[in-house]
Amino acid sequence: MPLAALLRSRLLWSIVLGLAVAVVLWRCTGARDTGPRYTTEPAARGEIVARVSASGSLSAVVTVEVGSQVSGRVQALFADFNSEVRKGQRIAKIDPQLFEAAVAQAAANVAASRGNLLRLEVQAEDAARQARRATQLFDSTLISENDRDNAVATARAADASVQQARGQLAQTQAALRQAETNLRYTDILAPTDGIVISRAVNVGQTVAASMQAPVLFTIAQDLRAMEVHTNVAEADIGKLRADMSAGFTVDAYPGERFTGRIREIRNAPQVVQNVVTYDAVIEVANAELRLKPGMTATVTVIADRRDGVLRLPGAALRFRPPASGAPVPGGGNGNGGTAARGGGGRAVWVLENGVPVRRAVELGLTDGSYTEITGGELREGEPVITGIEGQVTGGGGGSRGPRGGFRVL
- DSSP line for 34-79: --PPEEEEE-EEEEEEEEEEEEEEEEESSEEEEE-SS-EEEEEE--
Considering the domain architecture, whether residues 79 and 138 belong to the same structural domain is answered as no
Is 60 domain-assigned?
no
- Number of structural domains in the chain: 4
pLDDT score of 338: 44
Considering the domain architecture, whether residues 319 and 378 belong to the same structural domain is answered as yes
Considering the domain architecture, whether residues 191 and 172 belong to the same structural domain is answered as no
> What's the one-letter identity of residue 226?
M
CA distances from 200 to 89, 207, 215, 219, 368 (A): 18, 11, 7, 12, 47
pLDDT score of 213: 77
Is 171 domain-assigned?
yes
Considering the domain architecture, whether residues 325 and 276 belong to the same structural domain is answered as no
Considering the domain architecture, whether residues 276 and 347 belong to the same structural domain is answered as no
Give Rg (Cα) of the chain. Answer: 46
Is 31 domain-assigned?
no
Considering the domain architecture, whether residues 114 and 165 belong to the same structural domain is answered as yes
pLDDT score of 71: 93
Considering the domain architecture, whether residues 81 and 203 belong to the same structural domain is answered as yes
Does residue 367 contact residue 336 with C-beta atoms inside 8 Å?
Answer: yes
Model pTM? 0.64
- Residue 51 burial (CB count, 10 A): 15
Domain encompassing residue 167: 97-178
In tens digits, the chain (409 residues) has pLDDT values of 565 665 566 666 667 666 766 665 556 554 444 568 889 999 999 999 999 999 999 999 999 999 999 999 999 999 999 999 999 999 999 999 999 999 999 999 999 999 999 999 999 999 999 999 999 998 988 889 999 999 999 999 999 999 999 999 999 999 999 999 999 999 999 999 999 999 999 999 999 987 777 899 999 988 999 999 999 999 999 999 999 999 999 999 998 999 999 999 999 999 999 999 999 999 999 999 999 999 999 999 999 999 999 999 999 999 988 754 444 333 333 333 445 544 446 899 999 988 999 999 999 999 889 999 999 999 999 999 999 987 655 444 333 333 333 333 3
Is 73 domain-assigned?
yes
Q: Which of 286, 305, 324 is the last residue of a domain?
A: 305
Considering the domain architecture, whether residues 107 and 156 belong to the same structural domain is answered as yes
Considering the domain architecture, whether residues 317 and 375 belong to the same structural domain is answered as yes
CATH of the domain at 353: 2.40.420.20
pLDDT score of 396: 40
Phi and psi (nearest 5°) for 229? -100, 115
Q: Residue 382: CA atoms inside 13 Å, Cβ hemisphere, count?
A: 23
Is 103 domain-assigned?
yes
CATH of the domain at 70: 2.40.50.100
Q: Is 406 exposed, middle or buried (0-12, 13-18, 19+ CB in 10 A)?
A: buried
Is 156 domain-assigned?
yes
CATH of the domain at 244: 2.40.30.170
How far apart CA 125 and CA 294 sit, in angstroms, is 72
Distance from the Cα of residue 16 to its chain's centroid: 78
pLDDT score of 36: 81
Considering the domain architecture, whether residues 239 and 271 belong to the same structural domain is answered as yes
Considering the domain architecture, whether residues 238 and 118 belong to the same structural domain is answered as no
Considering the domain architecture, whether residues 143 and 273 belong to the same structural domain is answered as no
Give me the numbers of helices (H) and strands (E) for the chain, helices first please: 5, 20
